[in-house]
Structure 1
Amino acid sequence: MKAFPQQPTYTGFNEPSRVEADVCDLEVEGELPLDLNGTYYRVGPDPQYAPRLGSDIYFNGDGMVSMFRFKNGRVDLKSRYVRTDKFKLEQEAGHALFGAYRNPWSDDPAVQGKNRGTANTNIVFHNGQLLALKEDSPPVAMDPDTLETIGNWDFNGKLSSQTFTAHPKIDPQTGEMVCFGYSATGVDTPDIAYYVVGPTGEIVHEVWIKSPYNCMIHDFGVTRDFVIFPIVPVVSSAERAKAGRPTFGWDGTKDIYLGVMPRRGTARDVRWFRAPNQFASHVMNAFNEGSKVHIDMPRAESNMFPFFPDISGKPFDRERAAARVTRWTLDFNSKGDTFEARQMTSLVGDFPRIDDRYAMESYRHGYLCVSDLTKPYDALRGGSITGMFINCLGHIDLATGKHEEYFVGPTSTLQEPVFIPKSATAAEGEGYLAVLANRHEELRSDLLILDAQRLADGPIATVHLPVRLRQGLHGNWVPATAA
């Protein structure tokens, strides 16, 4: 096959691994807690072939799912590619057929109109079904034990949108999965399809609305009574894509919006609240107190995505891209269209997580990947880092405003953590964080287990992996009792 280009996206720790693994009884330094009983699923981009156009952004690689199964103080690893339509077509051809990220006009004519989803962004478990997700395409179902790909999942023919979010929200009380698709009728369209999927996997509610402008809507908020769509000006343009430029770009002139409606509302119920230009991507949590709605997101003054360049040609501003968890608050019943903002921490970071048993509710504990530039990094030993520099885990106590950090060391970085409760009845925040550490000097991976209430103490167990797992995106914990 054609060699991968010698570019940061494909070299060093980012070199494609392309390894599907089955490893029993991984080596553990320290002791795994005996109450770790379940499976940690995570997914990330790992391209099968060199890019069709000679280069690409990291987010466009084929989805590789890793599964860590914990039981009786031991842990096994299984990893498999998601056999998407794209993966199978390219495997048959022996080279890449699909072109640039979210740009169907750059594809080989042989695959025009085919499903180009990579299923590389998140992996969720609902109603006994494991779903690999990419926000430009339908979910792909996988067997939760073997990771065998079952196929595209359309909720028994009821999924009317062409797309499906990579960040559905599962209600821990009702078992519902609340979800949506943006650009629901095709690339660079304003349509948002909103769904509620019942606990048995059937779509029970559907609403179609239109965004104030065409843009990437990567995540959204769900409370006990409301849904919130953050509209941020990472804008799309079919004209740019057809001209060979990035489909998405930053527009520093547009306001942001929060589209809010009742969870079982209609299109007529949507209210749009607005604020001056700024950036946010991921949601930590959202909750409401009557008509007062809160949504917590890492918020930056400007664009955090240098690979989606400013459409006016302005250079990327790293200082203004620093994100801090901020609480946006609005009153759904108010006559105005503005919302308040309150910064919740001084920590700079993203990929926020919570104790998911408290999703959609008032909560106290938040966790996130932190970029702490006061800590040392040894570039001579670790090499250069591409993408977001994540060298710490952070724990935020939203009740007191205090925070603590775990620093992974001068030649390592971290991936997104996942919270694991000690038991179904444990207090909020009583449990563990599981997180992959990228060992840049050795080009290998470790899985770290930390006490979520004592991050600064460091790992209570380190699982040494015999394979390197590229920088992933998102994942989730499934207790053995739910499988």
Structure 2
Amino acid sequence: MTHRFPDLPIFAGFDAPGRTEADIFDLEFDGEVPIALDGTFFRVAPDQQFAPKFGTDIFFNGDGLVCAFRFKEGRVHFRSRYARTERFLAERDAGKALFGAYRNPFTDDPSVVGKVRGTANTNVVVHGGRLLALKEDSPPTAMDPHSLETTKSVFRFDGGLTSETFTAHPKIDPTTGEMISINYEANGLATADFTYCVIDKEGRVTRELWLKAPYPAMIHDIGVTENYVIIPVMPLTADIERLKAGKPHFTYRPDLDQVYGVLPREGEASDLRWFHVSHGLQGHAINAFDEGGKVYLDIGVTDGNVFSFFPEADGRVQDVRTVRGGPVRWTFDMKTNATPQCRPLAEFGGEFPHVDDRYATRAYRHGYAGSMDPSAPYDFERCGPPTANFFLNTVMHIDTASGTMKKWSPGPTSAVQEPVFAPRSADAPEGDGYILVLVSRLLENRTDLVVLDAQHIEEGPLATIRLPIRLRSGLHGNWVPAIAMKADASRSSCIAAGVRAEDGVHEG
């Protein structure tokens, strides 16, 4: 019997699963790859290895396909490997999908009951000598950052992580090297419990504080400052009875406030303060910082639901074209009980933001994001409808000090993915460096990696690195300088030598 992917937009055209692990040495390019770029750009995408169990699915339920672009001496090499999660290994062994609906174990094949369902498909970070492939419903999958070989299918930081989940968006303090995470549904499906975790630069959990949210809901991203953690609780709620009835994991609740928790990094549960403001759906955090007793969070917020696959309880789905929003700055005065203040950062609908990571958790000036710019031309006649999973056509640069913006679009037959910042050097001024952005060539059905000058993105590519294959639309990634990889090389080599991914599931 032949198993085929369903004839649905999310599995068609440029969005068709790529299902390709590859090594491509010395990629072709136009222009000049800056010699200053010495490091690796990692990214991950949901990319199902098998057709879905029930004949339909959502984009967020695909297996994590990790890609690495290694920059060295003006040349670029490419590698891609699947994260060998428990789920991936079980299905590879069976030769078919065994896990059912997104984050709903009640829909799984009986043979996989009790296995970790995570797909490691949302983000990849290097920390403590490991490449961590992340999905917020499960512990990380650990991989060797050089070979991309999976070293631990389920990694619990050598027993330091007791939560059932881990975030997809940890924040790394550039001064201390600590990695900080907020892990929701920590005590099981649809629970309001979450944990605040601190992991030192060696990869050891030094703190795991258990906390309670106002209700079970998604906490997708966070803000971290030198002294505080900001916790946006989204109006996407979970309910165990709905899951048992086969309903989607999350329900959009337009009747709920935006809720933000603010916790001192050295605080206890009793120090957590909750702030309620008018309804909105929080997106990804751009950055956060604190000064003079005030905490600032820059984050994308919309006035409605952008996720059609998480409808309201009655099944109602808002037309995404009516949703409005953009990046805003929230100000929390920790000396008073005043309502947080909000102001727009820019007049554009941007997502997938990045900053110069050397300024993460601190006051900063330069931010970058993808955007759907309605003024940028799109060739509907030749390209057909925009890609179903998400469509961005512009890279934006915002100067938060002046409020000015610059932008670059790749043309009417292309789309962009998440833009990532790479500094020119370790001691370069903030924002002095490059933007790396994957460009989907819709007519050619393949992908380029474009390098832009981060201060002059409007001038177009310094280099266009040509992949002979197509990379499905990804979610998140990060730039890791070579010096950071070298510092971790001996440890990660030992990890890789100790176990092979094909050996099965490895706990840590």
Query: What is the TM-score normalised by the length of structure 1?
Result: 0.98
Give the aligned partner of residue 375 of structure 2.
Answer: 374
Number of corresponding residues: 482
Residues in 2 aligned to 1:47 and 1:38: alpha-carbon distance in whole angstroms: 28
Contact 1:354–1:419 (8 Å) recurs in 2? yes
Determine helix, strand or coil for the equivalent of 2:285. coil
Give the aligned partner of residue 433 of structure 2.
Answer: 431
The residue type equivalent to 2:229 in the other structure is: V
Contact 1:383–1:441 (8 Å) recurs in 2? no
* Residues 152-301 of structure 1 mapped to structure 2, 5 A cutoff: 152-301=154-303
Q: Please identify, of 108-117 and 73-82, the stretch whose mean Cα deviation from structure 2 is larger.
A: 108-117
Equivalent of 1:303 in 286, 302, 305? 305
Give the aligned partner of residue 327 of structure 1.
Answer: 329
The alignment's C-alpha RMSD in Å is 1.0
Residues in 2 aligned to 1:379 and 1:319: alpha-carbon distance in whole angstroms: 17
1:319 offset after TM fit, Å?
4.1
* Residues 313-324 of structure 1 mapped to structure 2, 5 A cutoff: 313-324=315-326
Residues in 1 aligned to 2:128 and 2:324: alpha-carbon distance in whole angstroms: 37
Give the aligned partner of residue 86 of structure 2.
Answer: 85
1:249 offset after TM fit, Å?
1.7
Contact 1:323–1:350 (8 Å) recurs in 2? no
Give the aligned partner of residue 126 of structure 2.
Answer: 125
Give the aligned partner of residue 105 of structure 1.
Answer: 106
Residues in 1 aligned to 2:316 and 2:43: alpha-carbon distance in whole angstroms: 35
Determine helix, strand or coil for the equivalent of 1:416. strand
Contact 1:322–1:349 (8 Å) recurs in 2? no
Contact 2:287–2:299 (8 Å) recurs in 1? yes
Give the aligned partner of residue 412 of structure 1.
Answer: 414
1:320 offset after TM fit, Å?
4.4
CA offsets, 1:329-382, max 9 Å, x none?
11122134x211100100111111100100001100010001111222112211
Determine helix, strand or coil for the equivalent of 1:388. coil
Give the aligned partner of residue 16 of structure 1.
Answer: 17
CA offsets, 1:4-24, max 9 Å, x none?
001011110011111100000
Q: Please identify, of 303-312 and 368-377, the stretch whose mean Cα deviation from structure 2 is larger.
A: 303-312
The residue type equivalent to 1:299 in the other structure is: V
Residues in 2 aligned to 1:459 and 1:239: alpha-carbon distance in whole angstroms: 51
Determine helix, strand or coil for the equivalent of 1:415. strand
Residues in 1 aligned to 2:139 and 2:196: alpha-carbon distance in whole angstroms: 14
Contact 1:68–1:78 (8 Å) recurs in 2? yes
The residue type equivalent to 2:175 in the other structure is: Q
Contact 1:28–1:464 (8 Å) recurs in 2? yes
Contact 1:301–1:320 (8 Å) recurs in 2? no
CA offsets, 1:165-218, max 9 Å, x none?
010000000000011210001110000111111111111122111111111111
Determine helix, strand or coil for the equivalent of 2:284. coil
The residue type equivalent to 2:456 in the other structure is: R
Contact 1:271–1:332 (8 Å) recurs in 2? no
Determine helix, strand or coil for the equivalent of 1:174. coil
Percent identity (aligned): 51
Give the aligned partner of residue 4 of structure 2.
Answer: 3
Residues in 2 aligned to 1:388 and 1:63: alpha-carbon distance in whole angstroms: 17
Query: What is the TM-score normalised by the length of structure 2?
Result: 0.94
Residues in 1 aligned to 2:410 and 2:312: alpha-carbon distance in whole angstroms: 33
The residue type equivalent to 1:89 in the other structure is: A
Query: Which runs of 5 or more structure 1 residues have no equivalent in the other structure?
Result: none
Residues in 2 aligned to 1:4 and 1:138: alpha-carbon distance in whole angstroms: 28
